[in-house]
Structure 1
């Protein structure tokens, strides 16, 4: 025991000796969040407004509004776009809504879109992604493909009706899930990756695929069949003042995959899974495409659900320049900040900045691992340049700070500054790491001046 204590003390002395050098050059590649946000620019919203009811829509909760949405989208195609106003009422939609260029879905206060539960209504299959693998599957319930200047706004609600529909497929998805992963690893051509009917892969509630200039603002999103909002190979994105009430399995709030230039702010999360998950493809396909997810700012948000901020585990093309600022948990999160990969993934996670973030009760406050699910080989991930400052957690039932590197690829250059964790079962658990720096870190009770000899 004496040897272990001396070893720990020596390690901290070494870290303190390195401190001044690290502080003088904390990250030569750090970007300004203001520059990232300015780079997103102004997202132009169509000014021409038409009511859904002008195209046969009815908010009586019984009429199928799929034909009305198809008509208004055709109108937008033929007239250079439009702002589609959905007045108060409950609008049943038996099938997907496909957004087009310069279209804005504007849900007024008191308006609710509720999707039908017949899976056949979401065929034919469309190009999409499922857990990091590109394939053809059921259409997401709201879907935009290679569109520009698209928006979902207003004070209304989007109800995926997942509890009564697709969510029941969770226990039946395993064969298709494994098939998709094998197709990824074997580089099967996209045109052969046909799922849909009989394969039980749940569609996302909202997906933007290959889109540019996206705004999601003000709406409430609930009862999703799978991921709630999925940004896939998209850029220039603002998500603001959205509220989530999504308690089904895999109900992530925002998933950004192969995407860049994103601002997520002033969000009220309440999700049964990750609040924000940043991804960049799975395994062979991700490494082959090499489309990095980058330039992502998450600020002024309220976390609630499984995990607050997650990077991975599907991140094989790499994730960098992520900024989490001025956020707090409004309730329990299993893990606060969670960076996860394994030796199937490869790629990198780097230049991650967490500043002024507060959690209450968690299982683990901050967890970085190269061994997610304890599986994989041959493609260790490069995890480095992680900067966490002004971080508070009231209590962690398991661990305060955890870093698990890979023997051949250590997690390196992680700096903790002004960290306060009031109580936890295990304070630190670090393995296969290098250049871990502590500045003003307190885990447990703050120790006062030493007592005098009596």
Structure 2
């Protein structure tokens, strides 16, 4: 027999969930309409680097406190399209031309909100360099590393390297400033499985700088300078061939495993439309980047196109922005073997010494179909702050949120909001354990087999702080473990953890250890097995 509780903002036990229908469908009536509840400024903008010669991506803020029926997007005063989400990409534009963009929101209560007009220009169209003109052969067998690199090196600022339809086998290639790598529909850049085709470079791996095999697509060591304006676009596929490459790199043991894409020390990175598959390690790893935009990208680290699992995959994260700022990820699909998106900023003393946080991150209108959702950490020693995860669906995904900082990391995770998200997890593949604790979890005992919430240790530079985490308008149903799990350290309790309009059903219910400032305003928890709530050292 299942246990049920509903808690209001006073933390009172209210009994059964008879009024659950009042929450309504997420994204429409999850928050009850309010005459004064909507913001008036949609804050329309185009993210950093999200302009090409023929497209402009636009984002705007979602009105809060009221449901939105639809958005209309206008280009130069004419209707260009509609959306139910807060992003839209205008295609087929002319190069090097300024456009006027505006958005109108039609609210469920009959009101209309209009954005200010955004004036922004497309980029000039440079020269396109087809890799076949440099000797590349798309037969899936010829090694094309030199031909592709020669095409890249031939580019002037603003030029594009084009990979046409075909399967182009390659080792590591190195991008440079002010160029675009474009993959046509039907094009595949296929990674070689020979570790000799990936020179050893020094990159950050799992939070510390160390020798690593180069990734399939890289930037070189900037030697204290910065790269700028790098784009990877198109409808083609980048396949790291990671199942075999991982085994070969582990057998050679010359360095840590590489990724499929590793862009480092770059201002203005745009990933648009591409599909990225099968990495030997984390799949897409931006490091020390400012102005990262990911639009309409599909990342698959667990299954091939037919749904068959890639063999031997471990640590198969999808996308890991690492000490990056001003990050926008939207309209994308991630099916990962591990964390779908993991925000990181270095490990322990080295990460604290580097001291570059990941900050100002917006993840919206994304779909996750395997793995562990959107994670903060666990390598977060440079700090993580100012993160919004909004309007995302999690299907057959173990968790929506994992905020994790084990002892030794230090620094702060703060100002994180997950809102208007749904999760269903009906698989028997994973259960709660030392590496993942529930569908919504905040865990400062990450990695400990049998944590003792009472056993305090002295505070030091490695004692992390987690504060100001909000979960709002969320529905979840999981058989994998806890619906909600909060575990702060006795020497560093979690601070200001807030639940608003959350309906959560799990194998187990709600656990909270060592929390200061827990707000539960419209929280409903159901446990299929065991207790609905366990609370230790928690205060409002």
Give the TM-score, by structure 1 length. 0.81
Q: Name which of 265, 275, 287 aligns with 1:220.
A: 275
What corresponds to 1:198 in structure 2?
A: 253
Q: Distance in 1 between matches of 2:403 and 2:506?
A: 20
1:102 and 2:199 matched: no
* Contact persistence 1:427–1:443 (CA under 8 A): yes
1:405 and 2:488 matched: yes
1:142 and 2:217 matched: yes
Per the alignment, in what secondary structure is the counterpart of residue 256 of structure 1?
A: coil
Give the alignment of 1:129-168 within 5 angstroms: 129-145=204-220, 146-167=226-247
What corresponds to 1:334 in structure 2?
A: 398
* Contact persistence 1:206–1:228 (CA under 8 A): yes
What corresponds to 2:516 in structure 1?
A: 434
CA RMSD across the alignment: 2.6
Per the alignment, in what secondary structure is the counterpart of residue 333 of structure 2?
A: coil
Per the alignment, in what secondary structure is the counterpart of residue 333 of structure 1?
A: coil
**Higher helix proportion, which one?**
1
* Contact persistence 2:193–2:248 (CA under 8 A): no
Query: What is the CA-CA distance between 1:137 and the residue it aligns to?
Result: 2.1
What corresponds to 2:477 in structure 1?
A: 394
Relative distance call for 1:34 and 1:235 in structure 2 (3 A) is farther
* Contact persistence 1:365–1:396 (CA under 8 A): no
1:369 and 2:377 matched: no
* Contact persistence 2:50–2:293 (CA under 8 A): no
Relative distance call for 1:210 and 1:10 in structure 2 (3 A) is closer
> Unpaired runs of 5+ in structure 1?
1-7, 15-31, 173-196, 446-454
1:315 and 2:380 matched: yes
Query: What is the CA-CA distance between 1:397 and the residue it aligns to?
Result: 3.2
What corresponds to 1:83 in structure 2?
A: 160
Q: Distance in 2 between matches of 1:373 and 1:89?
A: 44
Relative distance call for 1:33 and 1:164 in structure 2 (3 A) is farther
Query: What is the CA-CA distance between 1:407 and the residue it aligns to?
Result: 0.9
Query: What is the CA-CA distance between 1:322 and the residue it aligns to?
Result: 0.6
What corresponds to 1:20 in structure 2?
A: none
Per the alignment, in what secondary structure is the counterpart of residue 204 of structure 2?
A: strand
* Contact persistence 2:317–2:341 (CA under 8 A): yes
User: How many pairs align?
Assistant: 391
Query: What is the CA-CA distance between 1:426 and the residue it aligns to?
Result: 2.1
Q: Distance in 2 between matches of 1:10 and 1:415?
A: 9
What corresponds to 2:368 in structure 1?
A: 303
1:261 and 2:261 matched: no
What corresponds to 2:147 in structure 1?
A: 68
Query: What is the CA-CA distance between 1:36 and the residue it aligns to?
Result: 10
Relative distance call for 1:34 and 1:374 in structure 2 (3 A) is farther
Q: Distance in 1 between matches of 2:8 and 2:344?
A: 37
* Contact persistence 1:160–1:223 (CA under 8 A): yes
Query: What is the CA-CA distance between 1:293 and the residue it aligns to?
Result: 0.5
Query: What is the CA-CA distance between 1:361 and the residue it aligns to?
Result: 1.2
Per the alignment, in what secondary structure is the counterpart of residue 482 of structure 2?
A: strand
1:289 and 2:366 matched: no
> Unpaired runs of 5+ in structure 2?
1-6, 14-39, 53-122, 221-225, 303-312, 432-437, 450-456, 528-540
Give the TM-score, by structure 2 length. 0.68
| CA-to-aligned-CA distance 1:23-63 (integer Å, 9 cap, x gap) | xxxxxxxxx99769656365566632121111111112222
Relative distance call for 1:41 and 1:239 in structure 2 (3 A) is closer
Query: What is the CA-CA distance between 1:310 and the residue it aligns to?
Result: 0.3
Query: What is the CA-CA distance between 1:431 and the residue it aligns to?
Result: 0.6
Q: Distance in 1 between matches of 2:41 and 2:354?
A: 27
Which range moved further: 141-150 or 338-347? Answer: 141-150
1:359 and 2:420 matched: no
* Contact persistence 1:92–1:116 (CA under 8 A): yes
Relative distance call for 1:100 and 1:343 in structure 2 (3 A) is same
Query: What is the CA-CA distance between 1:80 and the residue it aligns to?
Result: 2.4
Q: Distance in 1 between matches of 2:489 and 2:360?
A: 26
